[in-house]
Amino acid sequence: MKNKNKLICGDNLVELAKIKEESIDLIYIDPPFFSNKNYEVVWKDEAEVRSFKDRWKGGINNYIEWMEERVIELHRVLKPTGSMYLHCDWHASHYLKVMMDKIFGKKKFRNEIIWHYNRWTAVSGMFQRMHDNIYFYTKSGKYTFNKLFKEYSKASKKAHKQRGFIQRGHFKSYPNPKGVSADDVWEINFPARSKERLGYPTQKPEALLEKIIKASSNKGDLVLDAFAGCGTALAVAQKLGRQWIGIDISPTAIKVMGKRLEKLGASDIKITGLPTSLKQLKKLEPFEFQNWVVSKMEAYPSRKKTGDMGIDGYIKRTLFKEPAVIQVKQSEKVGRNVVDNFETAIRRAKKKNGFIVAFSFGKGAYEEAARARKDDLNIKLITIKHLKKMGKDFDK
């Protein structure tokens, strides 16, 4: 398997098994946090919608077992000189630390990095939670590490300016022009109104990944993110002259990452694993399936994915030569009642034209669509098989 600038859509456990042993220089993962949250997001460009789950049936033990399978594979593909950073928070950090010690060995643990950030606070009967944990492990005692520096404090700068040195007890130190050695508490906030933001709720700032990638890799090294999300680690790797591999189970995430990396000048991206067969499309999460259909029809999604009143997408130009609305059904033999309800949705949207997309339709659905034309409503029923064939030419 060629490991250069690649985006892989699929289960990371399956895809990691295809990567050559000891071929990766640096691994960063930001997996689901066991927070029992269900996130729904409209991406910044409003062209994609994604719903992703951070829910784990069976409790913390099942979550750790799920993570352990993947970390074992990550350890396998890491070079002897390589490093791995696992990003987590208070929900499962202590369980994950024990799991990492088991796989890498306690002596391979290097740091627990505290990423501290600011955000709007809420009234609470406890201290505000304002940090994440990042565990830094290496595969061996010989590993890549480029020392990082931060600015001296105002007091140290003042002392050096006045005396030429900094007094610490009985010792004098002469400042390094690069600054003081970086410690394991990183104060990094998202820049206000940052161009980085893509609307992904758990997106991390590029400045955070920049420190990790600069510290534990060199130009030309291969960086892997097996929970790639919106691709922040890959974007920073691209900017810093590293090669990269990103894995994510979401087709929408892969598409967003591809666009992000192309804007940064990546022209040799290889994308694999995107669903193409009917069998694969049937297995997609509902919102991912909806995204696939809406994108295929060159439409834009409804901003509401729940309570959308029967409208999943909008398209400006259709075979009707007028705007239309779209409803997506991830099912077979869609019946008359679906078409009947869609008629109400079209009228509510003050439109005359609409598409219903599904795997197949029953006789009643076609009869109802034909009847609706008598009421001046143009409803076209499109099967997924037909949509796959039409591609971008569906409106010709």
The ranges assigned to domains in the chain are 6-147+182-272, 278-393
Asked whether the beta carbons of 86 and 99 are under 8 A apart, the reply is no
Indicate whether 17 pLDDT > 80.
yes
DSSP state letters, 95-139: HHHHHHHHHH-GGGEEEEEEEE--------SS----EEEEEEEES
Tokens 């999604």 identify what position?
301
Answer whether residue 235 shows pLDDT above 90. yes
Token pair in block for residue 225:
């993110």
Residue 245's pLDDT band, with cuts at 50, 70 and 90, is very high
Sorted by sequence, the CB contacts under 8 Å of residue 279 that are 6+ apart come out as none
The pLDDT-based confidence of 285 (bands split at 50, 70, 90) is: confident
**Are 186 and 114 a contacting pair, CB within 8 Å?**
yes
Q: What's the pLDDT tens digit per position in 207-229?
A: 999 999 999 999 999 999 999 99
Strand partners, 257: none
- Secondary structure of residue 88 in the 3-state scheme: strand
pTM of the model: 0.84
Burial of 22-55, coded b for 16+ CB within 10 Å and e otherwise, reads: ebbbbbbbbbbbbeeeeeebbbbeebbbbbbebe
Q: Which of 110, 96, 34, 91 is nearest to 68 (CA)?
A: 96
113-164 tens-digit pLDDT: 999 998 777 667 888 889 999 999 999 999 999 999 888 766 656 555 545 5
**155 vs 137: CA distance, rounded Å:** 34
Let me know if the fold of 6-147+182-272 is the same as that of 278-393: no
CATH code of 278-393, in short, is 3.40.1350.10
Are residues 246 and 271 in contact, defined by beta-carbon separation less than 8 angstroms? Answer: no
CA distance 354 to 356: 7
* Number of neighbours of residue 340 by Cβ within 10 angstroms: 15
Highest mean predicted confidence (pLDDT) among 201-205, 318-322, 329-333: 329-333
- CATH 3.40.50.150 is right for the domain spanning 6-147+182-272: yes
The structure tokens listed for 99 are 């799991």
Angle at 105 between CA 132 and CA 232, to 5 degrees: 35
- Alpha-carbon gap, residue 17 to 73, rounded angstroms: 7
Exposure class string for 104-139: b at 16+ Cβ within 10 A, else e: beeebebeebebeeeeeeeeeeeeeeebbbbbbbbb
- Residue 24's DSSP bridge partners are 78
Instruction: Find the helix or strand (DSSP H, E) in which 53 lies.
Output: strand 49-54
Residue-wise pLDDT tens digits, 353-387: 999 999 999 999 999 999 999 888 999 999 999 98
Q: Of 9-23, 169-183, 290-304, 378-392, which range is least confident? A: 169-183
Pairing status of strand 24-29 against strand 222-225: parallel
188: phi then psi, degrees, rounded to nearest 5: -140, 125
Which one, of 385, 295, 266, lies nearest residue 258 by Cα?
266
pLDDT at residue 149, as a whole number: 86
Angle at 154 (CA atoms; ends 152, 160), nearest 5 degrees: 70
